[in-house]
Amino acid sequence: MTEHVEKLIDLALIEDIGSGDVTSEYFVPADVMAKAMMLVKVDGVLAGLEIAQRVFEKVDDSIETKILIPDSSRVKKGDYVMEITGPARSVLTGERVALNFMQRLSGIATKTAMFVDLTAGTKANVLDTRKTTPGWRLLEKYAVIQGGGMNHRMGLYDRAMVKDNHLVTEHDLGDIQAAIMRLKAEKPNVEVELEADRLDQVEAFLKLEGVDHILLDNMTNEQMKKAVKMRGGQSVPYLEASGGVNETTITEIAKTGVDFISVGALTHSAVALDISLDFVDL
């Protein structure tokens, strides 16, 4: 619950409630208490339960919530994952915002788990990217972790990722090496990743000092196997596959021996998990 996440929840509530929940105010008596159960309507992986709890707390601190199945759990259609008890008006007011967070984050966790399952038996780890919903990055990357994936860089500040667009003028290896050494001297905790779309670039980058990762951009599986062989017995730089990764290609990509596979679809194409709130007898 970082300050950023707290503000995001506040923004979501302001956006939804505005000047007040007129439906609940006029059609639900103020003294009515209610109990609701959060229901998963399709199989999936959970993420965002503590966010949903915080939504209800912010709407009305008299609401009591109980998590029945924790984040990262694989759930089945029909599972109840949270119990919510409190004034009916307040529960109804917080319902949609709580579900929006739960559905979005659980959808990402579920999609991530699917990709992770497809790499089982290999050394490859599934990574997310910066292709996230503006403002939601921290939460969406959290959801990737709950699905069994790993986080790539959080932003432009925690890893130097040198792509062809960064080399807009001619750079020889000496220029690149000098830039790496300057960065490492001034920001020793920042990792360096170089993008390669040809094997001769991989060969050249392997000779440089201070390179932590090499991104194999849109290479064929055969090219990636050769890149892994080029690295030989050394463990670094790590090799990351990127481009053309989907449900039908990731297994064979993982078998090439790469260390990481980045998948933008984990966040930019995840479908919200179908979750609802069912009111039950107290």
Task: Please give the positions annotated as active site.
Answer: 96, 131, 163, 195, 217
Q: What is the DSSP letter of 150?
A: B
Q: Give, in order, the Cα–Cα distances in Å from 255 to each of 23, 214, 232, 259.
A: 55, 17, 16, 10
Cα–Cα distance measured from residue 198 to residue 220, given in angstroms and rounded to the nearest whole number:
10
User: Of 184, 196, 187, 276, which Cα lies nearest the Cα of 239?
Assistant: 196
**Residue type present at position 152:** H
3-state secondary structure of 102: helix
- Name 198's Cβ contacts closer than 8 Å, sequence gap at least 6: none
Cα–Cα distance measured from residue 17 to residue 223, given in angstroms and rounded to the nearest whole number:
54
Q: At what angle are helices 137-146 and 88-118 packed, to 10 degrees?
A: 60
Q: Which residue has the tokens 């990731």?
A: 250
For the CA atoms of 232, 234, 240, 241, what is the dihedral angle to 10 degrees? 10
